Amino acid sequence: MEQPQGCVNPAFPHHVCKIHKALYGLKQAPRAWYTRLSQTLLEIGFSSSKVNPSLFLYHSNASHVFLRVYVDDIIVIGNHMATIQTIITKLQANFAIKDLGSLSYFLGIQISRDSTRLHLRQSKYIQDLLTRTSMVDSKPYRTPCTTGSKMSKFDGDALPNPSDYRQIVGALQYATLTRPDITYSVNQLYQHMHSPTSTHWTTAKRVLRNLKGTIDFGLHYTPGSLHLSGFCDSNWAGNPNDCRSTTGFGIFLGSNLISWSAKKQHVVSRSSTEAEYRAMALTTSELYWLRMLFQELQVSLPSPPTI
């Protein structure tokens, strides 16, 4: 890096500094951090997942520990508390890590559990979003969109400052992590990020009003069957501008929803049958990825997945 102002060596003013450690904020810092962390985990006995580079696996006899990394936030999950504590101690010997105890809040997601279920929600995140958009006192709506509505890029007048729309829709995209019910509506809003109009902004505010009335909604996970099942559908030529279809799917582990998506197809389908086949192909690929993930987690599925 360049010599800082006020600390330039007069004898070598054109020299640069060679840093021994990546500084926070530099472009290469995330890669350097991940390289150092992954090397340490491999030395401890972890193996890197082949289907998810940010997931590390530890299997030793009957002990199974999974470590999930998101930048510098880490979740450690396992079935043997003594093994987990040993791993945390080894990590603390190499990094300045703070153990926050049982998982309750992670990247804006609130986690609560009891003896029968696990509940994930983003109440605080949604409340902050409503405050940011001055919609805390708005009237709640029961649904995020109207039935059969199709947004066109020609509806409404162009927004004078589209950056606000882009920031809000981007924030709504993150809310879909625990709110699959708004995924389709947010997908529709995302397709107009380049040139949003007043109609698109009204639709975005409807989604925010729906979140206001359902702020504590989220995902509930309960123990049950390990059977994987996927449901998919498509609306043929649903986009009024380019006639492309939208694929939607939901994948369940037993009765628990674990993966979902609403996405516009990349090409124009020439029939409703072709649109449905493309939806099935995308769902099959997601199911296959989940099967590979469960295999790495050493979780046996009792039967082949169904669509």
Residue that is written with structure tokens 């606000």 in the block: 164
Q: CA angle, corner 82, sides to 81 and 86, nearest 5?
A: 115
**Range with the lowest mean pLDDT among 60-64, 118-122, 180-184?**
60-64
Q: What is the pLDDT of residue 114?
A: 86
Say how far apart CA 42 and CA 38 lie, in whole Å. Answer: 6
Say how far apart CA 302 and CA 254 lie, in whole Å. Answer: 11
Q: CA angle, corner 87, sides to 86 and 89, nearest 5?
A: 65
CATH 2.60.40: does it fit domain 29-101? no
pLDDT of 115 above 80: yes
| Strand ranges, E, within the chain | 47-48, 55-60, 63-70, 73-78, 105-106, 109-113, 118-121, 218-221, 228-235, 246-253, 256-264
pLDDT tens, position by position, 252-280: 999 999 999 999 999 999 999 999 999 99
pLDDT tens, position by position, 126-167: 999 999 999 998 899 989 988 777 888 888 899 988 999 999
- List the chain domain ranges: 29-101, 119-213, 224-296
Backbone angles phi, psi at 267, to 5 degrees: -130, 165
pLDDT tens, position by position, 184-224: 999 999 999 999 999 999 999 999 999 999 999 999 999 99
* Conformational region of residue 77, where left means phi above 0, alpha means psi within -120 to 50, and beta covers everything else: beta
Q: What is the pLDDT of residue 179?
A: 94
